Structure 1
Amino acid sequence: MGRDLRTFLQLLESRGQLRRISAPVERDLEVAEIANRLLAAGGPALLFENVKGSPFPVAVNLLGTVERVVWSMGLEEQQQLEALGEKLGKLQKPRPPRSLQDALEFAPLLFDVIKARPGRVLFAPECQQVVLEGKAVDLDRIPMIRPYAGDAGRILTFGLVITHDPEDGTPNVGIYRLQQQSRDTMTVHWLSVRGGARHLRKAAERGQKLPVAIAVGVDPLLVMAAATPIPVELSEWVFAGLYAGEGVQLAQCRTSDLLVPAHSEFVLEGTITPGEVLPDGPFGDHMGYYGGVEDSPLVRIHTVTHRHDPIYHTTFSGRPPKEEAMIAIALNRIYTPLLRAQVPEVRDFFLPMDALSYKLAVLSIKKAYPGQARRAAMAFWTALAQFTYTKFVIVVDEDIDIRDPSQVVWAIASKVDPERDLFVIPRTPFDTLDFACERIGLGARLGIDATTKIPPETDHAWGEPLRADPATAEQVSKRWAEYGLGDIPLGGVDPRAWGYSGK
């Protein structure tokens, strides 16, 4: 795959979406403060060329708008994301072709999978142009940032953390936060359900160390692939190849058989010894608070390789808008066809950015039978791994615009009897960063049935919703300027009240 971080930076610069900052800046607090203000304003990506204490530049805010997230995937418009989701949905639930036409339609998808297979770079990969081993390893030279004053240390955020299953060698590529602990050690913060944690448990059962590679400064499309929790028996490398239309070029690490993107700016190679942990945190997180302190696996870095004049790519968490929220909005469009494949009655769904991009979901369904809203909510919670930690699910009728908060609130206020239409699932596994839970890591979920009720959900007739006369509404719209009102919008609520940046 000819794409890399530098190619994307060139694209942003050519479109006026990259600002180079040559003034000296501190990697502690200052970089994040500048980037945070640009994020809030929907501003450009930033390349800090003079970071104190490090010879390497820092790129941040590359995915700070949905538009740039779409560009990172080789697309131009958000609408194209659903087509990608439909492709992945067909791979998720493939059906034998029932006709020649079905076979002809499925054939291009199989060809896409073949094209998406990763390739191997056997000699002189770019990521190994410079090799540092043993005492030459010095993580202080890498410009990891400390975003908030209460953070315990410097963090690495947009690295691909790569492990493989000790039993069958299946790779896992995840995005996990790492805290620098010393010149050559870091702790990794991952949830127990993530692939890296599963691999570490298997290594512990076998009495083995777990090899780890951390690839930093990769094509942002690979970040998107690693952030997409799609339950298909394909590796993240194949996902990335499907996104890009061509296979990812991989290179073998120097100290293990792990494979990393050959175009990575930095690669950190190390091992985790099961049971070896250090306190990790606190850090500012996506919930808008400082997280707690947790004993986390210790990664001992043995080798650092990098390109000539490498660029360090980073991000940070916090209350939206942040880059992770922009990524979530784009993934929402990709998830929609996938969710429909799992739960056919779902017409659309939306994860408002202001609800931390995944803590609250709004589903619309075409209601056909009693209890269907509860079924849809339960199916949603189990459809994709990303939805495991969604705390609230609101189900509305298909005629409700789920991206318009006024319509959703109206549906709740006018169609919900709290005694009948709220259902709680107690004591389920939960995000350890969610302090609202009575017990950290264990919390409840709430479903809200805000659909129109039908027997036997209710024993009385439902009122007829008020609607404008269609003919009159069309006539008024046509004559709006004639009334002398052309400078006034025709009406409607701006869905950005939910932190949404475009349909």
Structure 2
Amino acid sequence: MARDLRGFIQLLENRGQLRRITALVDPDLELAEITQRVLQSGGPALLFENVKGATIPVAVNLLGTLERVCWAMHMEHPQELEGLGQKLGQLQQPKPPKSPGEFIEFGKLLFDVIKAKPGMSFFPVCQQVVQQNEQVDLTQIPMIRPYPGDAGKVLTLGLVITKDCETGTPNVGVYRLQLQSKNTMSVHWLSVRGGARHLRKCAQAGKKLEIAIVLGIDPLLIMAAATPIPVELSEWLFAGLYGGTGVNLSRCKTLDLEVPDNAEFILEGTITPGEIVPDGPFGDHMGYYGGVEDSPLIRFHCVTHRKNPIYATTFSGRPPKEEALIAIALNRIYTPILRQQIPEIVDFFLPMEALSYKAAIIAIDKAYPGQARRAALAFWSALPQFTYTKFVIVVDKDINIRDPRQVVWAISSKVDPQRDVFILPDTPFDSLDFACPKVGLGSRMGMDATTKISPETDQIWGEPLASDPEMATLVTRRWAEYGLSDLELGAVDPRLFGYEIDGGR
């Protein structure tokens, strides 16, 4: 499979996970409405080949299932993601090998790093067509408007590349951009993100910030850009580790920036520090329209693209959305990295329904009093992505944290609100969280739902109920004899717990 957007689309088609839409579809609202319904049913990726007002096809819902996210990572099963997380954890906090076995494993990791280093391409296909200055017309790209209250057309699935003007270290991020005119867009990024840091440095140095937007790439690169890595490391290196071979880069036509050589589009421009325009509102991942914010304005002076390009896009909103499925995959990758920093953590889970980062459920191997609170506090500072996690629930290692029934049971049976719930007031927060009393400032809640040990409680904790092991074995052996072989052993009908199936009546 070619490591580009077209190769991934071909893979999906070969596996029956792509539907081509030849009917005329409007990129204003209609395309997103179709995609929303397909995504919610776990349906295939879509390639709209007849988009109103455009000659460029639009690919969407490429990563709309966890299975397809794994395929993008060159894996077949979600369990393989943890192995990748272990490798990344070793890179983030390397330890000298202490035994021959560890030395061999460390040598394998170094070899992987060498293979992952990016290469350079001098004849990039992303520059087959070049348009500069007055030729630039961003309205030719079939950007979509997902919701009726959106301020305009939006670009959501592009890599935004900038460079530190002092150190030359690049940053690759995924930010939302709003079309402002035929050659300008505003970029919406949080002040803690790499692009915003680079802009502040350019402002101090009295320079413009060079910025490149990369559209239509190997989805693997989207995953690498979304992974939390140390500032001094390169997303290209991580993408190479993800894929097993280095990413081929090429230099922009007019900027001192490097971009993937096989992208569909490259937009080249600059930001003048202090030049801002109103951005928004847009439907966001919280499930509401965001506000209007003054955001940096990008002036584009060059667009390059492949012949007959394809435009790939997505959009935010209340889960499930593609971003939520990506977050589930990253959850698996984060787990070994988190264990390395907080050893007592056995597993952790970010439920999609909690926007994949607002609530975390952590299972720990509890050994001493107060350990659950320590684990919650350590979690909030472990990775930048967890800065805005509102709720952390800590349970024992024998709780299946992906089963809401078990988690609710642990909360209900093991938590005394006065003793086990703690609040951190007035902490920095996501400006899109309307539940916060002040913009960018909110509180966090930790909950200890573990079994209490002395001196956490004076109560003698009851013995947990369990079947007699010998009888359980006997019943399992005789299950077919009872005439119950058509019933799955251990399966529980969710309707017994008040959950509806297929939306109920």
TM over 0.5: yes
Provide the C-alpha distance between the structure 1 equivalents of 2:464 and 2:9, rounded to a whole number of angstroms: 51
| SS of equivalent residue, structure 1 residue 257 | coil
Deviation at 1:380, TM superposition (A): 0.8
| Residue aligning to 1:329 | 328
Number of the residue aligned with 1:459: 458
CA distance in 2, matches of 1:440, 1:279: 17
SS of equivalent to 1:420:
helix
- Residue 503 of structure 2 is matched in structure 1 by none
**Tell me, what secondary structure is at the counterpart of 2:181?**
coil
After superposing the two structures, state which structure 1 stretch, 482-491 or 74-83, moved more: 482-491
Deviates most, 454-463 or 168-177 = 454-463
Q: Aligned residue for 1:430?
A: 429
Deviations 1:86-135 (A, max 9, x none): 1111111111111233211210100000110001112x311111011111
Shift of residue 493, structure 1, vs aligned partner: 5.4
CA distance in 1, matches of 2:482, 2:350: 39
TM-superposition CA deviations, 1:258-286 (whole Å, max 9, x none): 00000010000001111111111111111
Q: CA deviation at 1:230?
A: 2.8
Q: Which residue of 1 aligns with 2:349?
A: 350
SS in 2 for 1:201: helix
User: Structure 1 residues 230 and 474 mapped into 2: Cα distance closer, same or farther (>3 Å)?
Assistant: farther
The letter for the 2-side match of 1:269 is: E
Q: How does 1:79-94 map to 2 (within 5 A)?
A: 79-94=79-94
Q: Does 1:253 align with 2:246?
A: no
SS at match of 1:446: strand
3-state SS in 2 of match to 1:181: strand
SS state at 1:69 partner: helix
Task: Indicate the residue corresponding to 2:375 in structure 1.
Answer: 376
Counting only pairs closer than 5 Å after superposition, residues 28-177 of structure 1 correspond to structure 2 as: 28-122=28-122, 124-177=123-176
**Contact 1:5-1:219 within 8 A present in 2 as well:** yes
Return the alpha-carbon distance in structure 2 between the equivalents of residues 227 and 92 of structure 1: 16
Q: Distance in 2 between matches of 1:101 and 1:350?
A: 31
Contact preservation (8 Å) 1:396, 1:411: yes
Residue equivalent to 1:306: 305
Question: Shift of the alpha carbon at 1:466?
Answer: 1.2
Q: TM-score, normalised by structure 1?
A: 0.97
Alpha-carbon displacement from aligned partner over 1:438-478 (angstroms, at most 9, x marks no partner): 01111111000000111111122111111111222222222
* SS in structure 2 at match of 1:424: strand
Q: Is the 8 A contact 1:231 1:385 kept in 2?
A: no
* Range with bigger deviation, 21-30 or 476-485: 476-485
Residue identity matched to 1:73: M
**In 2 relative to 1, CA 297–493 (structure 1 residues): closer, same or farther, beyond 3 Å?**
farther
Q: Structure 1 227/493 Cα, relative in aligned 2: closer, same or farther at 3 Å?
A: farther
Deviation at 1:342?
0.8
Q: Which amino acid aligns with 1:429?
A: P
Q: Deviations over 1:182-227 (max 9, x none)?
A: 1111010111111001111111111111000000000000001001
8 Å CA contact 2:2–2:8 kept in 1: the answer is: no
Query: In structure 1, how many angstroms separate the alpha carbons of the residues matched to 2:152 and 2:477?
Result: 60
CA-to-partner distance for each residue in 1:54-107, whole Å, 9 max, x for gaps? 110000000000000000011111111111111111111111111233211210
**Which amino acid counterpart does residue 31 of structure 1 have in structure 2?**
L
- Following superposition, the deviation at residue 482 of structure 1 comes to 1.7
Deviation at 1:481, TM superposition (A): 2.1
Q: Deviation of residue 31 (structure 1)?
A: 0.7
Structure 1: stretches of 5+ with no match in the other structure: 499-503
**Are residues 84 and 468 of structure 1, via their aligned partners in 2, closer, same or farther at CA, if it must alter by over 3 Å?**
same
Could you tell me how far apart the structure 2 residues matched to 1:233 and 1:477 are? 55
Counterpart for residue 3 of structure 1? 3
Once the two structures are superposed, what CA deviation does each residue of 1:238-260 show, in whole Å capped at 9, x if it has no partner? 00000000000001111111000
Q: Provide the C-alpha distance between the structure 2 equivalents of 1:271 and 1:442, rounded to a whole number of angstroms.
A: 31
Q: CA deviation at 1:486?
A: 1.9
SS at match of 2:270: strand
Offset at residue 490 of structure 1 (A): 2.4
In 2, Cα distance between equivalents of 1:188 and 1:402: 37
Q: Quote how far apart the aligned CAs of 1:394 are.
A: 0.2
CA distance 1:232–1:268, change in 2 (3 Å): closer
Please give the alpha-carbon distance, in whole angstroms, between the structure 1 residues aligned to 2:236 and 2:456: 47
Aligned to 2:185: 186
Tell whether the 8 Å contact from 1:186 to 1:298 is kept in structure 2 after alignment: yes
CA distance in structure 1 between the aligned counterparts of 2:413 and 2:78, rounded to whole angstroms: 33
Partner of 1:18: 18
Q: Which one is further off, 146-155 or 483-492?
A: 483-492
The Cα shift of 1:480 comes to: 2.0
Residues 131 and 303 of structure 1 are in contact (CA less than 8 Å); yes or no, is this contact kept in structure 2? Answer: yes
Corresponding letter in the other structure for 2:254: T
Q: What amino acid is aligned across from residue 267 of structure 2 in structure 1?
A: L
**Does the 8 Å contact 2:250/2:258 carry over to 1?**
yes
Q: Which amino acid aligns with 1:198?
A: R
Identity %: 72
> CA separation of 1:143/1:269 partners in 2, compared to 1, >3 Å: closer, same or farther?
same
Q: CA–CA distance in 2 between the matches of 1:351 and 1:478?
A: 37
AA matched with 1:125? P
Deviation at 1:430, TM superposition (A): 1.0
**Could you tell me which residue of structure 2 aligns to residue 475 of structure 1?**
474
CA distance in 2, matches of 1:231, 1:400: 32
Aligned twin of 1:296: 295
Q: 1:232 Cα deviation (Å)?
A: 7.0
Moved more, 264-273 or 478-487: 478-487
RMSD: 1.4
Distance, in Å, in 2 between the alignment partners of 1:7 and 1:317 is: 25
Q: Which residue of 2 aligns with 1:359?
A: 358
Shift of 1:229: 1.2
**Counterpart residue identity of residue 22, structure 1:** T
Q: Which amino acid aligns with 2:186?
A: T
Against the structure 1 CA distance between its residues 493 and 334, is the aligned structure 2 distance closer, same or farther, given a 3 Å change threshold?
farther
Aligned-partner Cα distance in 1 for 2:231–2:280: 33
Compute the displacement of 1:2 (Å). 4.7
Which string of whole-angstrom CA distances, capped at 9 and with x for unpartnered residues, describes residues 378-414 of structure 1? Answer: 1111111111111100000001110111110011011
**Count of aligned positions:** 496
Distance 1:471 1:303 in 2: 74
CA contact (8 A) 1:91 1:232 kept: no
For residues 348 and 2 of structure 2, what CA distance do their matches in structure 1 show? 35
* TM-score of the superposed pair, with normalisation by structure 2: 0.96
Secondary structure, aligned partner of 1:215: strand
- Distance in 1 of aligned mates of 2:232 and 2:86: 16
Q: Could you tell me how far apart the structure 2 residues matched to 1:390 and 1:489 are?
A: 37
Q: Could you say what secondary structure the match of 1:447 adopts? A: strand
- In 1, distance between residues paired with 2:223 and 2:300? 25
Indicate how the Cα distance of structure 1 residues 165 and 233 shifts in structure 2: closer, same or farther if over 3 A, else same: closer
Give the equivalent residue in structure 2 for 1:385: 384
